[in-house]
Structures are given as C-alpha cells and as structure tokens.
Structure 1
Amino acid sequence: MIIHHLQEKNSILNKFIAEIRDVKIQKDSLRFRRNIERIGEVLGYELSKQLTYSVKDIETPLGNSQEQLISNSIVLCSILRAGLPLHQGLLNYFDDVENAFISAYRHHSNNDAEFEIVVEYFAAPSLNKKTLLLADPMLATGQSLVAVIEAIKKFGTPKEIHILTVIGSKEGIEFIKENFPKNTHLWIAAIDDELNSKGYIVPGLGDAGDLAFGAKL
C-alpha cells in the first residue's frame, strides 16, 4: 500500500484537524461538518496529482487552448453516515464523477468490546476498470473498509483504489495493508498511535457520525 500522510508537512490542514479534535469547537456540528468537508477538498487536491491526464482542446473567446484534464473514469464511494461530509468535500472538486454509497457499522451483540461489521445497503454503478475513491473519515481497526471492499466485489473490479480518510490508527493502517491490493493508495490527513479497548482511535476525536449528525439510538 502506498501511504500519503498529509500532516507530515505543515499546512492549513493543521487548523482543520485541530478544530475537529477540539472538544469545544466540535460541539458546533455545522462547523464540524464544514471542517470535514474542507479536509476532503485538501485530500482530493493531493489525490488529483496521482491521476491520469490527457490533452483537451478548449475554445476560448479569443482562440484555442490545450489543457491537461483528468481522464480517469472515477467512482466516489462513501461509507454512511459519517462519510457524507467527506464525500461532499471530494465532490466539490470531482464534481462530474459517478457516486456510490454503502452502509457499514459496528454491531456489538453482547454490549461489550467485541463487534462485527454489518453491511446492509449499497448503491453504485459498475466499478469494473474504474478508479475507486473510497471515503471514510475514521480508520480505526480497518475492519469496516475490509468488509466494504469484500461486499462490493460483485459490482466489478476497480482498475485502482484510493482510500481517503481523515484520522487513522497505526493498527488500522497495518490491517488494511494486509487486506487491500498492494497498489492501493491511502490518503490520510492524520495518523494516531493507538486504539482503546473498544477499538476507538486515541486521541482521535470521538464518533464522527454523532458529531456531524447527532447521537444515534
């Protein structure tokens, strides 16, 4: 797996990460969603440098210009519900791509630390020979992403896979490295050292879905 850790170099991204972590600022759900969206824009910009380009003739009012434009056939897939603000940030830049959505959540059958990943819904175009952008804001154990990639195999085999996430754990990154193709790209804003006993990232930021959209039952 090819890892692109954006916070290895200081940039305005640091401000967005700091605000989504801050317990005072993150209580403003509108600002939280907007910051996740802005992080998606930064991730999308950096990702765009790795795509394939071809020349296209553009007619201007005064003549013609040859421009290098993305030629990949892209499908943007987000994991519901926490992935929606990140999806919007990516869509702000990749506005003409195809879209897919999948639900994946932790099911604690015994109300303890043990859980399984349940995938219940998937809507997508064909993924065959496409460039798949897989967006999930939190990469904790990595089990959700692995469950998702297994669930969508019947929709075709992507030509290439780019995972985009906001915060991930070292353990989760190692897990997906073992379960995704070697040429998969991981675009990640921040990497944290550990998981707690319940599989949540420390220091992390809490539950991204709840912070964006309110507590669930």
Structure 2
Amino acid sequence: MKIHHLAQNNSVLNTFLSEIRDQKIQKDSMRFRRNIERIGEILAYELSKSLSFHEGFVETPLATKNMHLLSDAIVVCSILRAGLPLHQGLLNYFDKAENAFISAYRHHPNNDEHFDIVVEYVASPNLEGKIMLLADPMLATGQSLVAVFEALRKLGNPKETHIVSVIGAQEGIRFVEKHFPENTHLWIATIDDQLNEKGYIVPGLGDAGDLAFGSKL
C-alpha cells in the first residue's frame, strides 16, 4: 500500500487539523463538519494528481483551448455516519463522481472492550473498473475499513482503491496494509502513534460522528 501522509509538509491543512482536535473549537459542530469537509477537499486535490487524464478541447469566446481532463470514473464511498462531511469534501472536487454509502459500527456483544464490526446497509453503483474512494475520517483499528471492503467486493472489482482518512493510527494502518490489495493508496491528513485500550486514536480528537452530528444512544 502506498501511503500519502499530507501533514509531513506544512500547509494550511495544519490549521484545520488543529481546530478539529481542539476540544473548545470542536464543540461547534457546524465548524467541525466544515473543517472535515475542507480537509476532504485538500485530500481530493492531492489525490487527483495520481489519476488518469486525457486531452480535450474547450471553446472559449475567443479561441479553442486544449486541456487535460479527468478520464477515470470515480465512486466516492463513505462509511456512515462519520464519513459524510469528508464525503462532501471529496464530492466538491469530484463533482461527477457516483456515490456509495455503507454502514459499519462496533458491536460490543459482552459489553466490554471486545467488539465486532457489523455491516448492515449498502447502497452502491457497480464498481467494476472504476476508481473507488473509500472515505472514513478516523482510521483507528482498521477493522471497519476491512469489513466494508469485503462487503463491497460483490459489487465489482475497482480499477484502483484509494482510502481517504483524516487521522489514522499506526496500528490501524498496518492492519489495513495486510488486508487490502498491494496497489491500494492511502491518502491521510495526519498519523498518530497509538490506540488506547478501547481502540480509539490517541491523541486523536474523540468520536468524529458524535462531534459532527451529536451523541448517539
């Protein structure tokens, strides 16, 4: 898997990352969603440089101009519900992309720290031969991404798979590397060192779904 770690180079991305981590600023759910969306836009721009383009022509009021235009058919697939603001950021740049949505959540059968990943809902176009952007803002254990990828296999074989995340943990990235195809790309804003005993990223930012949309039962 090829890892593209954007925070290794200083940019305005660091401002958005600092705000989604800041427990005072992140209490503004609208601002939190917008910052995740803006991070998605930055990730989309960087990702676009790796895609295929073809030569096209545009008629301006004065002349014909040759341009290089995106060739690949793209499907943006988000893991509900936390992935929705990130999905919107990607869609802002890939406005002709098809869309897929899939649910995945942690189920604690014994009410302890052990959990299974449950996938219940899938709405997706055919993925055969397309570029799949799999959006999940928090790459913690990596188990959700692997479960979702397995569930999507029956919908076609993508030309390429690109995982798009905001914050990841080293452990989760290693887990994903073992279960995704070798030619997978990971586009991630920043990487933290560890997980806590409950499988949450440290220092991370908390629960992205709750911060974006409110706490759940």
TM over 0.5: yes
Task: Give the Cα separation in 1 of the matches to 2:73 and 2:90.
Answer: 15
Task: Give the Cα separation in 2 of the matches to 1:194 and 1:35.
Answer: 23
1:169-188 superposed matches below 5 A: 169-188=169-188
Deviation at 1:63, TM superposition (A): 1.2
Q: Report the counterpart of residue 47 of structure 1 in structure 2.
A: 47
1:1-217 superposed matches below 5 A: 1-217=1-217
Runs ≥4 residues deviating over 2 A: none
SS in 2 for 1:152: helix
**Pairwise CA RMSD:** 0.4
Deviation at 1:2, TM superposition (A): 0.2
SS in 2 for 1:121: strand
Deviation at 1:24, TM superposition (A): 0.2
Deviation at 1:162, TM superposition (A): 0.4
SS in 1 for 2:23: coil
Deviation at 1:62, TM superposition (A): 0.8
Task: Give the Cα separation in 2 of the matches to 1:201 and 1:112.
Answer: 18
**TM-score, with structure 2 as normaliser:** 0.99
**TM-score, with structure 1 as normaliser:** 0.99
Task: Give the Cα separation in 1 of the matches to 2:133 and 2:13.
Answer: 20
Q: How many residues align?
A: 217
**1:67-112 residue CA offsets vs partner (Å, 9 max, x unmatched):** 0011001111000000000000011100111000000010111111
**1:12-47 residue CA offsets vs partner (Å, 9 max, x unmatched):** 000000000000000000000000000000000000
SS in 1 for 2:65: strand
Which consecutive residues of structure 1, in runs of 5 or more, have no partner in the other structure?
none
Task: Give the Cα separation in 2 of the matches to 1:59 and 1:111.
Answer: 63
Task: Give the Cα separation in 1 of the matches to 2:139 and 2:123.
Answer: 22
Task: Give the Cα separation in 2 of the matches to 1:92 and 1:3.
Answer: 23
Q: What letter matches 1:160 in structure 2?
A: E
Q: What letter matches 1:6 in structure 2?
A: L
**1:129-177 residue CA offsets vs partner (Å, 9 max, x unmatched):** 1100000000000000000000011100101000000000000000000
Task: Give the Cα separation in 2 of the matches to 1:108 and 1:29.
Answer: 27
Identity of aligned residues (%): 71
